[in-house]
Amino acid sequence: MAGRGRPRASGPSSTGLTTEQEILQAAGKLFCTEGYGSVSTYRIARAARISQATMYHYFAGKHEILSTLLLETVQPSVAFAEHLVTSDAPAPARLWALCAFDTRLLVSGPENLGALYLLPELSDERFAAFHAERTRLRAVYRTLVRACPDVGDAVAQDLADLVFGLVESAILRRRQDLDGVGGTSIDDGFATRTADAALRVVGLGPAAGMEAARAGQALAAAAPS
């Protein structure tokens, strides 16, 4: 919101970001490089070039900053997933589109925020909103996997968990790249290959998989950016 907040500690922003966005960007980098527990609100405010008083105008504390960052890694996928549930496109195409969209979201942005999913601090009830959104997303994966051909109730949950884990493995792949042990960097085709692999997990053969991928690409192209 224009005009919100107090004067910056070091003058106007030169990045074009809002103060809130700069706080989130600074905190995300610090959390990913130095760990959540060791980063103070003072460090976050200093990195964002604002006073602590300004930071507290936007966020109650670093737990709220972390919660906001985590929600940004999942809420766009939840919104797209719940849109796909209402689509009349074939289930494999919808599953492909969700996998591609979700993977792209996880590998986008300057920091590997998905790596924060394993923080022990996330057991705190203050992060309940993030866990609830992630549960909603997993439920749509399960719905779409169950609707794929020849997927029975007995295996639907296991297959959905495998697909969900495949998508979130992008987080580890991104970390490996940052550590210099991942080989080639994640490229524009990574999300496509992940979505293709998800269809193989649920048992689609090459021909059916190619057809579903073509339809899924059209669905993903129409997703909000």
pLDDT digit string, tens, across residues 67-77? 999 999 999 99
Total number of domains in the chain: 2
**Shared-domain flag, residues 121 and 214:** yes
pLDDT at res. 181? 52
**Shared-domain flag, residues 51 and 107:** no
Question: For residue 13, is it within any domain?
Answer: no
**Shared-domain flag, residues 108 and 177:** yes
Question: For residue 46, is it within any domain?
Answer: yes
**Shared-domain flag, residues 53 and 119:** no
Question: For residue 217, is it within any domain?
Answer: yes
Question: For residue 4, is it within any domain?
Answer: no
Q: What is the pLDDT along the chain (225 residues), one digit of tens a residue?
A: 334 444 445 455 556 889 999 999 999 999 999 999 999 999 999 999 999 999 999 999 999 999 999 999 999 999 999 999 999 999 999 999 999 999 999 999 889 999 999 999 999 999 999 999 999 999 999 999 999 999 989 999 999 999 999 999 999 998 887 655 545 567 779 999 999 999 999 999 999 999 999 999 999 998 876
**Shared-domain flag, residues 46 and 114:** no
**Shared-domain flag, residues 49 and 140:** no
List, as one string, the DSSP characters of the chain. Answer: -TT-S---TTSS-SSS--HHHHHHHHHHHHHHHH-STT--HHHHHHHTTS-HHHHHHH-SSHHHHHHHHHHHTTHHHHHHHHHHHT--S-HHHHHHHHHHHHHHHHH-SSS-GGGGGG-GGGGSGGGHHHHHHHHHHHHHHHHHHHTSTT--HHHHHHHHHHHHHHHHHHHHHHHHHHHT-SSSPP-TTHHHHHHHHHHHHTT--HHHHHHHHHHHHHHHHTS--
pLDDT at res. 222? 87
Question: For residue 97, is it within any domain?
Answer: yes
Question: For residue 56, is it within any domain?
Answer: yes
Domain span at 178 = 73-221
**Shared-domain flag, residues 25 and 119:** no
Question: For residue 108, is it within any domain?
Answer: yes
CATH code, domain with 105: 1.10.357
Question: For residue 66, is it within any domain?
Answer: no
**Shared-domain flag, residues 103 and 178:** yes
